[in-house]
């Protein structure tokens, strides 16, 4: 993987998001995979911008290319055509200020390290030594509510807790961009809702730019400032969600604007 | 087996080593007493085949290995089926088996010598002891794995023990028993050679020790190479045989003791 | 072997029954006392050897030989296994060569080893290492190949250096496989230690058994076999305990 020098300016610290600067710019992105049956176009002509501190949700049915898009943004995959700019620089490989939370948390955590150890991995990668490292790990454990499990192994934790650990590990990187690949898909409804609110709160507090992938329409509208609906590799619709934060599981989901967006997108996704 | 560049690469190191070895052997610094020229080794090997000494020794080793293997197979499969079918019996006899298993088969060489004296029987008995355990354990596991419905069918049909054994249980379990047999075949060759090297005056092992003691390193290496070919050929043949068997199990990770 | 707790009593009775039958047969001289000394004589001999301290020196010698050979084999095995497991090129160049050398019986190497190193302890350790290297080499290679691909992605996303990848992810990830292979290697090391002792007249339990056979002292012979069995069992259990401690993060799949 070729790494590229990226601006590591973190949005922690209270810089007001500049309206005209895009954290992420995607221009005419195309991705096709070669397979035994010939070339298969996964994404075609995708273009969008994400502002600093914005929470973007990408929603669509399985196989529409959402995960591929996220991996492109992370730099784990290269596009067949088009370009991705991160803070004005082209993306040429993974970078620590673009953190990615994987969908399958059982495989993305180191099973032989405790919760604290897993979170510390990011800090070790960033070259942060003790005692700094220990303090930061402690702070993140507090923040994600992992105090009681700090010295347990991932295998001993529930799905929701494991996903919290993954999120904590990503936050430890102090990323400018947080990418999340259907992180709550495998969790039960209650845990999902709790984590949704936590992520929303964290994103607002840290003013992190978030790109969140999901197949759950309501989750996308609930969490996002903007929702992009993908269908068959193309952008079907872009919706701006103007509901104020902090949002609420009960009230927000009954808000007429929420319902209107939902109707609109539901119809669109059915067509594909 | 891959053809093409990756297949050829495997030859690079051996061929290179061989060439360098041959060149070095013509230099003054070559330790002619301990190493030998590849060309000398080839000659010694050829001679050994022509005058029949290597084929004879090979046959002696194989004979002992087969003899011991056969005894182990019969006992192992028989008792394996019996124990596999009766969990009660298995529980009672099990710990005794577990106690006997860690005894290294080579430790029994002097005992076998005491009982049988030098020769074929002594060697075969040590081979049999060594091969018994993998066959026994794998057979037990294999019988456990036989579809219980089939056993029920046999009972409803009121088949005799022999009929049940040969018509239902063994064919059903054979796929996995194969795995134990494969392990045992490799073990039989290794143990036979070991017994010969330690003290039994027959076979390839003894022949190699003889060559070493008469300071004929070329003959030692020639026979070592031959033994390697034998082992490799045996493995390859076994792999081929297993792949042709319907339902044969390829790996033994789950039946390792 | 599935053994219920309730069956332990029966199992013990069964084993005791076998010994009793043997004892009676030996006492009644229905079987030759030369070939089959009674359990009581064997036991007495074993107790005598322990009480008079005779057993510790040969036990120690065999143990030491076994451990050195095994340690050498494990080190080599992990390094070469790691190389093969993680590098396609290494696999291509070394693979076929290793496939050919592997089935070679380690004891068959003894005559060649004697040419180089004579009838010495060094020869023994070299032969032990040669024979014991394979299980740990193969399982290390497997461990390194089978590293969860998701973890590689995590490493890529975190921009870990190659060294960090190896130390923090590859080695801990491959550890279960490596340890399993190491246990099998240990069993092989014990066997080869005994073989080389008998072959090269090196002091140890193996040689004791051989000498007992030559002087037809069968209780000593059997006592020696029993000692080896016990040693093999204890050493295996010890390694199992270490393995369980190191791998305590492994939970049974739900």
Give the confidence band of C5 by pLDDT, cuts at 50, 70, 90.
Answer: low
Which C residues in the span 120-179 are in contact with B, Cβ-Cβ below 8 Å?
none
Is B188 among the domain residues?
yes
Would strands A209-214 and A38-51 be described as parallel, antiparallel, or unpaired?
unpaired
Beta-carbon separation of C14 and B96 below 8 A: yes
- CATH for A23-97+177-189+208-272 is 3.40.50.300
Strand order in the sheet with A98-101: A98-101, A177-181, A209-214, A55-59, A226-231, A234-240
Domain of B78? 54-206
Is B168 among the domain residues?
yes
| Tens-digit pLDDT profile for residues A134-175 | 999 999 999 898 999 999 999 999 999 999 999 999 999 889
Third-level CATH fold of C41-246: MetI-like fold (1.10.3720)
Instruction: Give the CATH number for residue B92.
Output: 1.10.3720.10
- What does residue B48 show for φ and ψ, rounded to 5 degrees? -60, -35
Give chain B's domain count: 1
Q: What is the pLDDT of residue B256?
A: 36
Q: Where are the domains of chain C?
A: 41-246
Please tell me whether residue A167 adopts helix, strand or coil conformation. Answer: helix
- Residue of chain A nearest C174, judged by CA positions: A112
Question: pTM for this one?
Answer: 0.77
Beta-carbon separation of B212 and C115 below 8 A: yes
- Bridge partners (DSSP) listed for residue A55: A210
- Closest CA relative to residue C188, chosen from C145, C153, C232: C232
Give the mutation candidate from B106, B199, B216, B255 for the C interface (greatest C CB count, under 10 A).
B106
Q: What is the ipTM of this complex?
A: 0.78
Instruction: Select from C159, C169, C175 the Cβ nearest to the Cβ of A94.
Output: C159
Written as six digits, the tokens of A73 are 């943004």
Whether B and A touch, i.e. at least 3 CB pairs below 8 A, reads as: no
- Residue of chain C nearest A175, judged by CA positions: C158
Q: For residue A88, count other CB atoms closer than 10 A to its CB.
A: 10
Is B66 among the domain residues?
yes
Written as six digits, the tokens of A161 are 């807790």
Is B161 among the domain residues?
yes
Low-confidence ranges of chain B (pLDDT < 50): 1-4, 247-257
Report d(CA A6, CA A25) in Å as an integer.
Answer: 14
Q: What is the pLDDT of residue B192?
A: 93
Q: Where are the domains of chain A?
A: 23-97+177-189+208-272, 105-174
What percentage of chain C exceeds 90 in pLDDT?
19
Q: For residue A40, count other CB atoms closer than 10 A to its CB.
A: 11
Give the residue-averaged pLDDT of A10-23.
48
C175 chain-A contacts, CB cut-off 8 A = 112
Give the confidence band of C55 by pLDDT, cuts at 50, 70, 90.
Answer: confident
| Tens-digit pLDDT profile for residues C139-156 | 888 888 888 788 888 899
Instruction: Select from A1, A107, A110 the Cβ nearest to the Cβ of C156.
Output: A1
How close A1 comes to chain C (CA, Å)?
A: 8
A161 chain-C contacts, CB cut-off 8 A = none
CA distances from C39 to C16, C53, C220, C229 (A): 11, 21, 12, 15
Is B118 among the domain residues?
yes
How close C153 comes to chain B (CA, Å)?
A: 27
How close B247 comes to chain C (CA, Å)?
A: 24
Instruction: Select from A107, A121, A155 the Cβ nearest to the Cβ of C250.
Output: A155
């Amino acid at each position: 993987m070729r790494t590229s020098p990226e601006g590591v300016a973190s949005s922690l610290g209270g810089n007001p998001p500049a309206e005209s600067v895009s954290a992420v710019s995607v221009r005419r992105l195309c991705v096709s995979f070669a397979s035994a049956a010939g070339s298969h176009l996964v994404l075609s002509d995708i273009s969008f911008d994400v502002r600093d501190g914005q929470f973007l949700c990408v929603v669509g049915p399985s196989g529409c290319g959402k995960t591929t898009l996220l991996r492109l943004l992370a730099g784990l995959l290269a596009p067949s055509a088009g370009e991705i700019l991160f803070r004005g620089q082209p993306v040429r490989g993974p970078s620590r200020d673009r953190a990615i939370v994987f969908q399958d948390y059982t495989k993305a955590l180191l099973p032989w390290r405790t919760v604290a150890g897993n979170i510390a991995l990011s800090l070790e990668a960033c070259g942060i030594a003790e005692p700094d490292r220990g303090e930061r790990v402690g702070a993140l454990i507090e923040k994600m509510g992992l105090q009681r499990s700090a010295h347990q192994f991932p295998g001993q934790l529930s799905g929701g807790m494991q996903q919290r650990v993954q999120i904590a590990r990503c936050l430890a990187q102090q990323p400018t961009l947080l990418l999340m690949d259907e992180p709550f898909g495998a969790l039960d409804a209650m845990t999902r809702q709790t984590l949704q609110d936590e992520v929303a709160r964290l994103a607002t507090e840290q003013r992190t730019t978030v790109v969140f992938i999901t197949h759950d329409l309501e989750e996308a509208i609930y969490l996002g400032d903007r929702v992009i609906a993908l269908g068959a590799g193309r952008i079907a619709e872009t919706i701006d969600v103007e509901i104020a934060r902090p949002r609420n599981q009960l009230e927000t989901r009954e808000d007429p604007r929420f319902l209107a967006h939902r109707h609109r997108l539901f119809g669109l996704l059915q067509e594909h | 087996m891959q053809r093409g560049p990756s297949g050829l690469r495997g030859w690079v190191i051996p061929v290179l080593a061989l060439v360098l070895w041959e060149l070095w052997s013509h230099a003054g610094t070559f330790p002619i007493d301990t190493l030998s020229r590849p060309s000398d080794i080839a000659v010694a090997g050829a001679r050994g085949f022509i005058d029949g000494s290597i084929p004879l020794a090979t046959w002696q080793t194989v004979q002992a290995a087969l003899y011991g293997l056969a005894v182990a197979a019969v006992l192992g499969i028989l008792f394996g089926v019996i124990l596999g079918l009766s969990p009660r019996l298995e529980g009672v006899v099990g710990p005794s088996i577990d106690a006997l298993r860690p005894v290294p088969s080579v430790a029994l060489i002097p005992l076998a010598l005491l009982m049988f004296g030098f020769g074929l029987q002594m060697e075969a008995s040590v081979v049999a002891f060594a091969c018994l355990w993998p066959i026994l354990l794998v057979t037990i596991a294999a019988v456990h794995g036989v579809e219980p419905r089939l056993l029920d069918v046999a009972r409803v049909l009121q088949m005799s023990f022999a009929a049940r054994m040969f018509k239902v249980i063994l064919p059903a379990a054979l796929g996995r028993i194969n795995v134990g047999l494969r392990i045992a075949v490799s073990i039989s060759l290794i143990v036979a050679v070991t017994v010969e090297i330690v003290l039994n005056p027959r076979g390839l092992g003894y022949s190699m020790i003889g060559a070493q003691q008469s300071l004929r390193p070329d003959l030692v290496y020639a026979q070592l190479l031959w033994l390697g070919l034998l082992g490799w050929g045996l493995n390859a043949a076994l792999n081929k045989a297993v792949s042709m068997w319907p339902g044969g199990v390829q790996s033994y990770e789950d039946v390792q003791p | 072997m599935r053994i219920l707790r309730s069956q332990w009593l029966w199992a013990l009775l069964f084993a005791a029954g076998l010994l009793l039958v043997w004892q009676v047969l030996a006492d009644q001289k229905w079987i030759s006392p030369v070939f089959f000394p009674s359990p009581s004589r064997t036991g007495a001999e074993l107790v005598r050897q322990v009480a008079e301290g005779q057993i510790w020196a040969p036990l120690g010698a065999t143990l030491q030989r076994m451990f050195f050979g095994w340690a050498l084999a494990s080190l080599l095995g992990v390094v070469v296994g790691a190389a093969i497991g993680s590098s396609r090129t290494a696999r291509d160049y070394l693979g076929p060569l290793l496939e050919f050398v592997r089935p070679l019986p380690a004891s068959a190497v003894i005559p060649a080893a004697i040419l180089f190193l004579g009838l010495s302890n060094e020869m023994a350790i070299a032969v032990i290492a040669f024979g014991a290297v394979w299980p740990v080499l193969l399982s290390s290679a497997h461990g390194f190949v089978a590293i969860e691909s998701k973890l590689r992605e995590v490493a890529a996303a975190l921009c870990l250096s190659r060294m960090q990848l190896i130390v923090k992810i590859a080695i801990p990830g491959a550890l279960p496989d490596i340890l399993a292979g190491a246990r099998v290697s240990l069993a092989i090391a014990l066997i080869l230690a005994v073989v080389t002792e008998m072959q090269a007249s090196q002091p140890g339990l193996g040689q004791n058994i051989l000498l007992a056979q030559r002087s037809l002292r069968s209780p000593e012979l059997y006592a020696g076999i029993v000692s080896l069995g016990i040693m093999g069992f204890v050493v295996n259990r010890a390694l199992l305990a270490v393995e369980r401690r190191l791998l305590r993060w492994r939970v049974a799949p739900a």
